[in-house]
């Protein structure tokens, strides 16, 4: 396949697309107490609300490559962004709409999760490391922005208006996508139709795909558990709403440089094993410090910075490893779909389970200890994958 010239417009579009992958999910935790009061929801129900998109990721990711194969990346992107705009705007009007809209958002973001690495490989494979860096760094940038501003804006303007404000980004992204792709839809769809011989069943039987899926799932379990409950954990440590919002934003923001750097340095020989070693230290120290009996504000801040760096770096690593198992855009979409499907089925348990443990034991010690144990397992699985895939050699 002849590679199209990388343009600033495409890089900018990747930046915009990536912002949509977390924004509609991340907006909920900082304003969860406003939603609970307004709609009379319990802690478990809020945890379930955060889990719904992850359930969609888990159940539907494996089928999205089939949608892309039939519609092409151009039309699938339009469908995903349109659904995201509509669902996010209308989900604020009632409890039923809140849960239904969040489910539709989960479907839309599932499409975008698979589409993003696919269009990168399809349109600019020689620049994949650079664009993956932009992609993963942007996830944290947008998440940090909404994590910091959501609670103050909700207090001043109402949580409903804050949630609907998130619809602006997919509108801009859709306009940008229409502007840069209106002449290349046929070639994109043909690149998939020429390779229909690639079967999902053949790829899913690869042991390395399963190892990567478990690695993706465990790191996502930890990340989305923290995203769902970190504001509540910080409040339980007697921090103010302002301090909680600032630290939650810091958790998202601090990992931006590593999100950009990891995909680039991971291409170097033997880099992955050193990255995993750093991630092990980051998980142990971050979760350990946060689980101390009476941590000071300084200790809490160090823990948040460490966890922000670690979760950003390991997500970037997991995404980058997907391309090591793929030789074409279509195969990338299939491997990505399988890995994310299995991975997010593990991750979707996290917000609800951690919320339930907190409700039953009335503290966050057990949930944090569980995350610490899973962090160790995550690094072990990652190391085993690297050995099987001979990436460290």
Measured CA to CA, the distance from residue 4 to residue 35 in angstroms comes to 46
Measured between alpha carbons, how far is residue 321 from residues 151, 235, 286, 288, 335 in Å?
35, 36, 24, 28, 10
pLDDT band for position 269 (cuts 50, 70, 90)? low
pLDDT band for position 77 (cuts 50, 70, 90)? confident
The whole-number pLDDT of residue 345 equals: 82
| Stretch 132-156: mean pLDDT | 76
pLDDT band for position 227 (cuts 50, 70, 90)? confident
Measured CA to CA, the distance from residue 376 to residue 28 in angstroms comes to 28
The whole-number pLDDT of residue 393 equals: 39
Sign of CA dihedral 167, 170, 175, 178: negative
Task: For residue 48, report the phi and psi dihedrals to the nearest 5 degrees.
Answer: -65, -40
pLDDT band for position 259 (cuts 50, 70, 90)? confident
Over the stretch 375-385, which tens digit does the pLDDT of each residue have?
Answer: 999 999 888 88
Measured CA to CA, the distance from residue 120 to residue 40 in angstroms comes to 43
Sign of CA dihedral 119, 125, 127, 131: positive
* Contacts of residue 225, Cβ cutoff 8 Å, sequence gap at least 6: 350, 351, 353, 354, 367, 371
Scanning the structure block, which residue is given the tokens 């299995």? 342
Over the stretch 164-176, which tens digit does the pLDDT of each residue have?
Answer: 888 888 999 898 8
pLDDT band for position 1 (cuts 50, 70, 90)? very low
- The length of the chain in residues reads 393
Q: Which among 382, 88, 344 is positioned nearest to 223, based on CA atoms?
A: 344
Measured between alpha carbons, how far is residue 152 from residues 32, 41, 165 in Å?
13, 21, 14
Burial (Cβ within 10 Å: 0-12, 13-18, ≥19) of residue 196 = exposed
- Higher-pLDDT residue of 391, 124: 124
Scanning the structure block, which residue is given the tokens 């291409």? 267
Scanning the structure block, which residue is given the tokens 């949630």? 163
Query: What string of DSSP letters covers 132-183?
Result: HHHHHHHHHHHHHHHHHHHHHHHHHH-HHHHHHHTTHHHHHHHHHHHHHHTT
Task: For residue 17, report the phi and psi dihedrals to the nearest 5 degrees.
Answer: -60, -45
Measured CA to CA, the distance from residue 41 to residue 160 in angstroms comes to 15
The whole-number pLDDT of residue 123 equals: 67
| Stretch 79-108: mean pLDDT | 90
Measured CA to CA, the distance from residue 60 to residue 98 in angstroms comes to 20
Over the stretch 327-368, which tens digit does the pLDDT of each residue have?
Answer: 666 677 777 777 877 777 887 788 888 888 888 887 888 999
pTM value is 0.73
Give the CB-side neighbour count of residue 322, counting CA atoms within 13 A: 34
Choose from 12-26, 229-243, 295-309 the range with maximum mean pLDDT.
Answer: 295-309
The whole-number pLDDT of residue 370 equals: 93
Query: Where do the domains of the chain lie, and which CATH numbers do they carry?
Result: 8-389 (1.20.1250.20)
pLDDT band for position 4 (cuts 50, 70, 90)? very low
How many C-beta atoms surround the C-beta of residue 180 within 10 A? 14
Over the stretch 145-201, which tens digit does the pLDDT of each residue have?
Answer: 777 778 788 888 888 888 888 888 899 989 888 887 544 444 445 454 444 445 666
Structure tokens at 89: 């705007």
Measured CA to CA, the distance from residue 241 to residue 348 in angstroms comes to 27
| Stretch 229-253: mean pLDDT | 84
212 pLDDT exceeds 80?
A: yes
């Amino acid at each position: 396949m002849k590679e199209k010239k990388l343009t600033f417009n495409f890089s900018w579009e990747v930046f915009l697309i990536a912002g949509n992958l977390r924004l509609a999910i991340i907006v909920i935790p900082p304003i969860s107490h406003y939603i609970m009061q307004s709609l009379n929801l319990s802690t478990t129900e809020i945890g379930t609300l955060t889990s719904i998109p992850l359930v969609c990721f888990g159940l539907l990711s494996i089928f999205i490559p089939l949608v892309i194969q039939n519609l092409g990346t151009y039309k699938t992107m339009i469908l995903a962004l349109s659904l995201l705009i509509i669902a996010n705007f209308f989900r604020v009007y009632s409890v039923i709409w809140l849960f239904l809209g969040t489910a539709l958002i989960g479907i839309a973001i599932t499409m975008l999760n698979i589409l993003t690495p696919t269009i990168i490989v399809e349109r600019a494979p020689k620049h994949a490391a650079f664009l993956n860096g932009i992609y993963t760094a942007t996830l944290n940038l947008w998440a940090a922005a909404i994590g910091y501003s959501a609670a103050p804006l909700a207090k001043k303007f109402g949580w409903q208006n804050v949630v609907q404000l998130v619809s602006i980004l997919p509108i801009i992204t859709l306009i940008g996508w229409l502007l840069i792709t209106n002449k290349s839809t046929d070639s994109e769809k043909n690149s998939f139709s020429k390779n229909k011989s690639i079967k999902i069943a053949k790829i899913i039987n690869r042991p390395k795909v399963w190892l990567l899926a478990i690695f993706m799932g465990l790191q996502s379990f930890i990340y989305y558990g923290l995203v769902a409950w970190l504001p509540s954990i910080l409040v339980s440590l007697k921090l103010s709403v302002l301090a909680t919002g600032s630290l939650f934003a810091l958790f998202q923001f601090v990992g931006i440089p590593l999100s950009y750097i990891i995909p680039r340095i991971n291409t170097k020989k033997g880099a992955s094993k050193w990255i995993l070693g750093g991630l092990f230290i980051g998980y142990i120290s971050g979760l350990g410090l946060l689980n101390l009996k009476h941590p000071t504000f300084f200790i809490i801040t160090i823990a948040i910075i460490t966890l922000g760096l670690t979760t950003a770096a390991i997500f970037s690593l997991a995404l980058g490893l997907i391309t090591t198992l793929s030789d074409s855009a279509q195969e990338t979409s299939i491997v990505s779909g399988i890995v994310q499907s299995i991975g997010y089925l593990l991750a979707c348990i996290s917000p609800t389970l951690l919320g339930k443990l907190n409700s039953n034991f009335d503290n966050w010690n057990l949930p944090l200890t569980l995350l610490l144990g899973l962090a160790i397992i995550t690094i072990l699985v990652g190391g085993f994958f690297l050995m099987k895939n001979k990436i460290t050699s």
